[in-house]
Amino acid sequence: MNDNPVLRIVAKIIIPMILIFGLYVQFHGDFGPGGGFQAGVIFAAGFILYGLVFGTDALRSAIPAHILRIVIAGGLLLYVGVGVATLLMGSDFLAYNALGSTPSGGQHLGIFLVELGVGVTVSAVMITVFIGFAGRNDP
C-alpha cells in the first residue's frame, strides 16, 4: 500500500482530523456523547491508519514500544491515583467531592481525570494490539 500516492496524501490529511476528533470526544464527553473509551479508540484509529498506510515500522518509530508501555500503565495509575487522592483527603475511594472546593467542582475535576486515564490507556492498548498483530506480517 506504500506506493499509492492518493492513499498516502488522503491519509496525511485525514489523520490530524481523526486525532483532533478523538480529543474532542475525550474532552467533550461531559456535555455530549462520548468519553474516555470512545475517544481512546478514535485516537488509536488515527495511529492505526498511519500504520496501515505507511507500514508498522513507521508506526513503531512514531510511537516507540517503551513509551506505549509507560502510557498503558500511566492511564490506569492516573485512575487509581484519583481514588487514592480522595482517600488521602479523608473521603471514600473515588468520591470526587473532596477534590474541589465545591462538590460540583470536585466531581468535574474527578470525572475529567478519570476519563483522561481511561482514554490514555485504551488508546495505547489498541495501538499495542494492532502492532502486535500486524507487525508479525512484516517480511
Judged by the rule CB under 8 A, the positions of this chain that interact with another protein are: 25, 29-38, 41-42, 44-45, 48, 52, 57, 60, 64-65, 68-69, 72-73, 75-76, 79-80, 83, 93-94, 96, 103-104, 107-108, 110-111, 114-115, 117-118, 121-122, 124-126, 128-138
What's the residue count for the chain? 139
Number of alpha helices (DSSP H) and beta strands (DSSP E) in the chain: 5, 0
State the angle between helix axes of 103-134 and 36-54 in degrees (0 to 180), rounded to the nearest 10: 30
Nearer to another protein, 8 or 74 (CB): 74
Nearer to another protein, 89 or 133 (CB): 133
Nearer to another protein, 8 or 97 (CB): 97
Least distance CB 52 / another protein (angstroms): 7
DSSP line for 31-59: TSS--HHHHHHHHHHHHHHHHHHH-HHHH
